[in-house]
Amino acid sequence: MQPHRTDLAGVSIRPAVRADLPALADLWFAFETWLNGLEAEPEPVDRAKFEGFEALAFGTRPACAVLLAEDGDRAIGYLVHYPGVWMDDMAPCLHVADLFVRPDNHRQGVGRALMQAARHIASDAGAAHMFWTVWRDNPQAKAFYERLGAEVFDEEILMKWPVR
């Protein structure tokens, strides 16, 4: 994918590369810290957790890909995505695993630009839908996605079965 042009002055969206890991780690830490602040009883964020991300995104069998939003040479947001199959459509789909934009860049169109770039990737892959989850305690995110035109999909329940 070529860098995605945006209508935002100075902002570009491009696929992240291994050399972006320090910037991605900083963004991830900022996101986890921000989310943690929404909790009634926040716990410290362990920066070491991010060490496994390199293999997930840039290893020999990557499980995901990352879009990076930059304002000039400053990383201001990211979107992690991975392909899937939606059997109802018998078609590919795209799952968004994580989306974050620095709070000082909220309401500037960066999140929308990242989602539009992901939607372009989904369309190129023949996907009929994109899917993601939203934390219940994040009304800002819910409102943002609704402004994009996303709909709540509550016909199914997300299940979790620990493997390790």
Smallest Cα–Cα separation from 109: which of 1, 3, 2, 13? Answer: 13
CB 133 within 8 A of CB 33: no
Q: How far from each other are the two terminal CA atoms of the chain, in whole angstroms? A: 34
Angle at 27 between CA 23 and CA 32, to 5 degrees: 145
pLDDT of residue 118: 97
Do 3 and 12 form a contact (C-beta atoms < 8 A)? yes
The tens-digit pLDDT sequence of the chain (164 residues) is 555 556 678 899 999 999 999 999 999 999 988 887 766 666 777 888 889 999 999 999 999 999 999 999 999 999 999 999 999 989 999 999 999 999 999 999 999 999 999 999 999 999 999 999 998 888 889 999 999 999 988 888 888 888 98
Q: For residue 5, what pLDDT is reported?
A: 55
Q: In whole angstroms, give the CA distance from residue 40 to residue 38.
A: 7
Which residues, at least 6 apart from 58, have a Cβ–Cβ distance to it below 8 Å? 17, 18, 21
- Spatial distance between the Cα atoms of 3 and 45, rounded to a whole number of angstroms: 31
* Residue spans per domain, the chain: 4-148
At the top level of CATH, which class does the domain 4-148 belong to? Answer: alpha beta
In sequence order, what DSSP letters do the residues of 2-36 get, joined into one string? Answer: PPEE-SSTTEEEEE--GGGHHHHHHHHHHHHHHHH
